[in-house]
Amino acid sequence: MQKHIITLLCALGVAISAPALAKSKVKPKKTAKAKISRTYTQSEQIPTVKLAPRVREVSSGYGIQAVNVDFFRMFMRHPQVIPQIETQDAPRLIKGPDNRVMYSRGDRVYAYGVKEPGRYLVYRARKDVVDPETNKFLGQEVVFSGIISTLPYTNSALDARSEKDAQYLQEGEYYTRLHPLKKVPTQTAQPMVVEEAISEIKKGDYLLKLDESLQTLNRNIQPHAPSQHIDARVVSIFDGVGEVGQFQTITLNKGENDGLDVGSVVSLYKKSQQVKMDFDEGKKGRRSMMKYVSIPAEEVGLAMVYKTSQNLSSAIILESLTNINIGDVASEPGQDLDNMKSDKVHVRNAPQEPHDTEHNEYNYRSNINPY
């Protein structure tokens, strides 16, 4: 009997607590409806864009870009044309260590004819450069092989020179004896050290005082058009037997006196050509018709001047459509297919004076024998 009562009470308790338990259960959250953003078409609504003053970025493509090139390194590694006045009486290397004829970096060498201390370019002559129009000698094409600098030294023999001997000797000279009965005028060689060797430095090479402005050649040269009309010719080409192309060096027969400066951009043209036409009309007994026609000049490249002298310029070819040859025309851009005037100037056979620089700005003969 008690068992049945306990069973009934338990069943009653479960029935009473069931609704409360059902209410206490966590109900799942309702899923939010997805919001779909609507894009407006032109027919419905055009969005309004509000403009306000602000700093705006401009693309770097505007304007003329500067050319970033190590022109001093290019100057050293490419042959150059220097005026004859710089080759006359040039100092020379006369001796090196261990009687060697080739020297390298760090070697102590000796030179003759050095007038002042400092740094010097080492070069050797390669060939004479003449104007293709007038056949006048413009300068010497040289190849640079390194840089050397002077070393301080003590010249006790010169200090001991007597006043009597000084009356018969030039500046810097003193007497030395070959044997007890013979004395000869002598100069002390300038001790120097090789700082940089780009190629082999040899006994007998010439020295050129290093102009410090060469080392400060602006790496960021701003290209610009020439300030006046330019009528130049390519007189020397480098890194090629008879023709060159893009990013190679050429020399022009015009310089600062003719309106060229560093950064001047010139176009390169194949000059106008005269072609003889000989057509036979095909009728018996009739003479053939002969005429001359001129082919206009064609623009084949662009070059930028990076070094100038009074009458010569060195330029790097920026663009080329074909090979560039000696004799090609360099002028201001914009003359493609222009029938340029190309009258050849007659030059009389002038006497070949070896060193006539007193009256003539240009010479006809070099004073350095090419190797």
Strand partners, 202: 102
Amino acid at site 3: K
* Confidence (pLDDT) at 41: 53
d(CA 256, CA 254): 7
Q: What integer is the mean pLDDT of 321-346?
A: 78
Query: What is the secondary structure of 263-294 as a DSSP string?
Result: TBEEEEEEPPEEEEEEE----TTPPPEEEEEE
Query: What is the secondary structure of 67-121 as a DSSP string?
Result: EE--HHHHHHHS-EEE-HHHHTT--EEEE-GGG-SEE-TT-EEEEES--S-SEEE
Q: Which residue has the higher pLDDT, 212 or 266?
A: 266
Output the six-digit token pair for 141: 């094409």
Picking from 215, 227, 221, 250, the residue whose alpha carbon sits closest to that of residue 324 is: 250
Q: Band of the pLDDT at 186, cuts 50, 70, 90?
A: confident
Residue 306: C-alpha distances to residues 250, 260, 312, 358 (Å) = 11, 10, 11, 29
Q: Band of the pLDDT at 69, cuts 50, 70, 90?
A: low
* Confidence (pLDDT) at 367: 44
Residue 109: C-alpha distances to residues 96, 134, 151 (Å) = 4, 41, 10
Domains of the chain: 66-153+188-220 (no CATH), 221-279+290-336 (2.40.10.410)
Picking from 145, 147, 125, the residue whose alpha carbon sits closest to that of residue 77 is: 145
pLDDT at 300 over 80: yes
Q: Band of the pLDDT at 232, cuts 50, 70, 90?
A: very high
Percent pLDDT > 90 in the chain is 11
Q: What integer is the mean pLDDT of 121-129?
A: 85
Output the six-digit token pair for 279: 């057509």
Residue 309, C-beta contacts closer than 8 angstroms, at least 6 positions apart: 83, 255, 256
* Confidence (pLDDT) at 276: 78
Q: Taking the C-alpha atoms of 26, 27, 32 and 33 in order, what is their torsion angle to the nearest 10 degrees?
A: 170
Backbone angles phi and psi of 20, in degrees to 5: -65, -40
Q: Band of the pLDDT at 150, cuts 50, 70, 90?
A: very high
Q: What integer is the mean pLDDT of 154-160?
A: 79
d(CA 248, CA 63): 25
Residue 157, C-beta contacts closer than 8 angstroms, at least 6 positions apart: 174, 176, 186, 188
Q: What integer is the mean pLDDT of 53-60?
A: 68
* Confidence (pLDDT) at 330: 93
Q: What integer is the mean pLDDT of 341-350?
A: 54
pLDDT at 91 over 70: yes
* Confidence (pLDDT) at 187: 82
Q: What is the largest distance, in Å, between two alpha-carbon atoms of the chain?
A: 163
Give Rg (Cα) of the chain: 42
pLDDT at 132 over 60: yes
Q: What is the pLDDT of residues 160-181, one digit of tens each?
A: 787 877 777 777 777 788 877 8
The average confidence (pLDDT) of the chain is 74
Find the distance separating the first CA and the last CA of the chain, reported in whole Å.
139
Percent pLDDT > 70 in the chain is 65
